[in-house]
């Protein structure tokens, strides 16, 4: 399985990134692909962690975040650098995002000529290219319509929400370029082509399991966990992840036993469970030893798929507890159905002419983030077709 991920990565780096610009003329529509990002080199890890641990929109430490955050980042850097070294020296998330954007905009140019030319812009939170870089490039390109497109299918205040707040904060320091309209795609957890993409990848992995074991294979849909205090504030993420899982299982005709599980817990506070590794251990104790692991909330390969799932769970943990068969489904990456899904989402957004969804503008009932009030008000005022 690890060899499969490496082949994906090499294909992405060697062929998929040539001629990333989709047009030689000025783009009319800019598609801003919003994500957290990941360090491409191990020497970027400390700064990446420092930005995360000092970002109150992302993480709220109980005390002295300006001091405790940098200390945690420095302390964790060697361990995290080692993990990146074990997956090839850095995260492939930028290369995948660039390739996805390239394929998306090429398809949009063909299928939506009235809004062409289209050009992708990557806006990462914690590593280059930063959010400010994307908007500076669009200003230089004189983009007329900027579609801010979250690359998190399921909305969470910590990921999508904090990214949109980052854009709001950017434009408190600079003006929106003359002639540029902005609109928002904030979530898309139940898009049918997203479900078909996951189902297709799952079926391919199931076919690699001997027929006498296949029916007993448990599909573990693994998503990044969330602190329970965030869930109790009203974060939509758990329900939207569950909706994606249900949509995928409908595509599979509910052919397998399945379970939604959670990964990547950090710190001692209670988080959403059951955790992926603990679920594997418990199922093995029940005598169930065949698994298909699906990164249901990730759209491209990065540290949490290539290391946490592939190495820590599917290799090391599986050997430790006596798993017989475990296969990890690849993230959507450049799957044709996924690119088709992205294209359909953008086309539908343009056709419906809803510049920002009412769900996005509605705060969580127990919201405590001081940025959310002015941010959502700003989006309601500036977004327009």
Considering the four listed CATH numbers 3.30.70.580, 3.40.50.1400, 3.90.1580.10, 3.40.190.10, the one that applies to the domain covering 23-188+335-382 is: 3.40.50.1400
What pTM, to 2 d.p., does this model score?
A: 0.91
In tens, the pLDDT along 299-315 reads: 999 999 999 999 999 99
Tens digit of each residue's pLDDT (9 = 90 or more) over 310-361? 999 999 999 999 999 999 999 999 999 999 999 999 999 999 999 999 999 9
Q: pLDDT digits over 183-214, tens only? A: 999 999 999 999 999 999 999 999 999 999 99
Do 23-188+335-382 and 192-328 agree at the fold level?
A: yes
- Chain segment 49-90, per-residue pLDDT in tens: 999 888 877 776 666 677 788 888 899 999 999 999 999 999
Question: Nearest CA to 208 among 325, 123, 40?
Answer: 325
Residue-by-residue DSSP string for 333-378:
TT-HHHHHHHHHHHHHHHHHT-SS-HHHHSPPTT---TTHHHHHHH
Q: Is 344 a catalytic residue?
A: yes
- By the 10 Å C-beta count (0-12 exposed, 13-18 middle, 19+ buried), 203 is classed as middle
Out of 46, 191, 224, 307, pick the active-site residue. 191
CA distances from 40 to 15, 89, 208, 304 (A): 18, 7, 32, 14
Q: Are 27 and 117 in contact (CB under 8 A)?
A: yes
Which pLDDT does position 10 carry in this prediction? 42
Residue range 249-267: mean pLDDT, rounded:
96
CB 167 within 8 A of CB 148: yes
d(CA 301, CA 330): 8
- Map out the domains of the chain as residue ranges: 23-188+335-382, 192-328
Query: For the purposes of burial, counting CB atoms within 10 Å of the CB of 76, is it exposed (0-12), middle (13-18) or buried (19 or more)?
Result: middle
The CATH code of the domain at 192-328 is 3.40.50.1400
Catalytic residue chosen out of the listed positions 133, 200, 334, 344: 344
Strands 145-150 and 181-185: parallel
Lowest-confidence region among 26-30, 31-35, 57-61, 236-240 = 57-61
User: Comparing C-alpha atoms, which of 262, 294, 30 is closest to residue 145?
Assistant: 30
Residues with Cβ within 8 Å of 88's Cβ and at least 6 positions away in sequence, in order, are: 6, 9, 306
pLDDT tens digits for range 97-122: 999 999 999 999 999 999 999 999 99
């Amino acid at each position: 399985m690890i060899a499969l991920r490496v082949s994906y990565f090499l294909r992405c780096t060697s062929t998929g990134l040539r001629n990333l610009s989709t047009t030689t003329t000025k783009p009319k529509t800019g598609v801003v692909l919003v994500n957290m990002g990941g360090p491409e080199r191990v020497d970027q890890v400390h700064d990446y962690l420092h930005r995360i641990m000092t970002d109150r929109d992302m993480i709220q430490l109980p005390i002295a975040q300006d001091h405790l955050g940098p200390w945690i980042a420095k302390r964790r850097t060697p361990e995290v650098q080692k993990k990146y070294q074990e997956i090839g020296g850095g995260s492939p998330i930028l290369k995948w995002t660039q390739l996805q954007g390239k394929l998306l905009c090429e398809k949009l140019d063909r299928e939506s000529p009235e809004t062409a030319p289209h050009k992708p812009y990557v806006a990462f939170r914690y590593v280059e290219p930063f959010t400010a870089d994307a908007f500076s490039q669009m200003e230089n390109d004189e983009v007329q319509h900027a579609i801010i497109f979250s690359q998190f299918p399921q909305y969470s205040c910590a990921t999508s929400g904090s990214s949109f707040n980052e854009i709001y904060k950017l434009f408190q320091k600079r003006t929106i370029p003359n002639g540029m309209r902005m609109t928002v795609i904030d979530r898309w957890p139940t898009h049918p082509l997203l479900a078909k993409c996951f189902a297709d990848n799952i079926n391919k992995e199931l076919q690699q399991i001997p027929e006498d074991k296949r029916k007993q294979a448990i599909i573990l849909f693994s998503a990044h966990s969330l602190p329970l205090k965030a869930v109790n504030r009203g974060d939509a993420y758990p329900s939207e992840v569950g909706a994606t899982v249900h949509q995928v299982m409908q595509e599979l005709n509910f052919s397998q036993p399945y379970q939604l599980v959670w990964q990547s817990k950090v710190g001692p506070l209670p988080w959403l469970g059951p955790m992926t590794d603990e679920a594997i251990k418990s199922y093995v104790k029940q005598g169930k030893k065949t698994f298909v692991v699906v990164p249901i909330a990730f759209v491209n390969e990065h540290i949490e798929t290539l290391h946490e799932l592939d190495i820590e769970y599917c290799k090391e943990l599986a050997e430790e507890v006596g798993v017989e068969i475990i296969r990890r489904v690849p993230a959507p990456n450049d799957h044709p159905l996924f690119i088709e899904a992205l294209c359909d989402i953008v086309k539908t957004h343009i056709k419906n002419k809803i510049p920002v969804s009412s769900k996005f503008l509605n705060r969580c009932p127990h919201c405590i983030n001081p940025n959310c009030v002015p941010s959502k008000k700003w989006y309601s005022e500036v977004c327009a077709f």
